[in-house]
Structure 1
Amino acid sequence: MAITTNAICNSFKKELLEGTHNFSNPGGNSFKLAMYTNSAALGKSTTSFTTGGQVSSPSGGYSSGGKALVNAGTSLATNTAITDFADLSFVGVTLTARGALIYNDTNGDKAVAVLDFGGDKTATSGTFTIQFPAFTTSAAILRIA
């Protein structure tokens, strides 16, 4: 079991063509981010949110399912469509995370993308922040060129 690398989930690619995911802001779907330990089995074949391998926070700053993401909307420039999210913080947590899953909370918790942190990241009675890249065609978290 492992988080196999940063990946856009294969099911998400197909579901885009079927109109399952709406990244419009306002009026689009609600997306969430859940965090996972190194025991999680996540990768491009992940199809939906799972509790298996999810982090726990005995101090109460993280709960199952993670937190809602604030969508930056969509944009198109230089033949690349993009969407991104605002940075997300979990406050007052003691946890260790190896990666995360972005998923569509509106439509059956369908998986969007797996994030691999490249190693365990820890917070001890503090704030754990997921910092998303810039909302640009060369950096946004989701890009279609």
Structure 2
Amino acid sequence: MAITTNAICNSFKKELLEATHNFKNPGGNTFKLAMYGTPATLGKSTTSFTTGGQVSSPTGGYSSGGKALVNVGTSLATNTAITDFADLSFTGVTITARGALIYNDTATGDPAVAVLDFGGEKTASNGTFTIQFPAFTTSAAILRIA
């Protein structure tokens, strides 16, 4: 199996009820985004960050574990709670990635939050690889609870 679809991790849903994750900005947990290649197996059953299948960049712009995300905050509108992140760029990289994992770098065990499927391999060659997050709205934010 590979990265086949965008998914909120099942373990994350349970961990929300257990107060494992804090998206408050400022003062919440640190969330990171790690990128993975085609051989990675990620999906809704992913429970934590793993190095298996993670991309590498010989030009040095990507390191294991990925990069910290900037949380743009939380909001509640029209009965939907949302949180989102600012776009994230890896500069000076030569990589091919098939997807990514958002995980909580602050909580014990680096618990998984969501899997992002790029819909195919995306490549940067000695350049910038940017993850563009959707708008911070109730119909588009990366994490929505309705």
TM-score (normalised: structure 1): 0.99
Alignment of 1:75-114 (within 5 A): 75-107=75-107, 108-114=109-115
Corresponding residue number in structure 2 for 1:117: 118
Deviations 1:20-42 (A, max 9, x none): 00000000000000000010000
Deviations 1:45-76 (A, max 9, x none): 00000000000000000000000000011000
Q: Separation in 2 of the partners of 1:95 and 1:101?
A: 16
Corresponding residue number in structure 2 for 1:31: 31
Instruction: Note if 1:126 corresponds to 2:127.
Output: yes
Alignment of 1:57-72 (within 5 A): 57-72=57-72
Q: Separation in 1 of the partners of 2:13 and 2:19?
A: 10
Matched to 1:8, the amino acid is I
Report deviation, 1:87: 0.1
Report deviation, 1:4: 2.2
Tell me, which stretches of 5 or more residues in structure 1 are unaligned?
none
Matched to 1:68, the amino acid is A
SS at match of 1:11: helix
Report deviation, 1:8: 0.1
The runs of at least 4 aligned residues of structure 1 exceeding 2 Å deviation read: none
Q: Percent identity?
A: 89
Tell me, which stretches of 5 or more residues in structure 2 are unaligned?
none
Residues paired across the two proteins, number: 145
TM-score (normalised: structure 2): 0.98
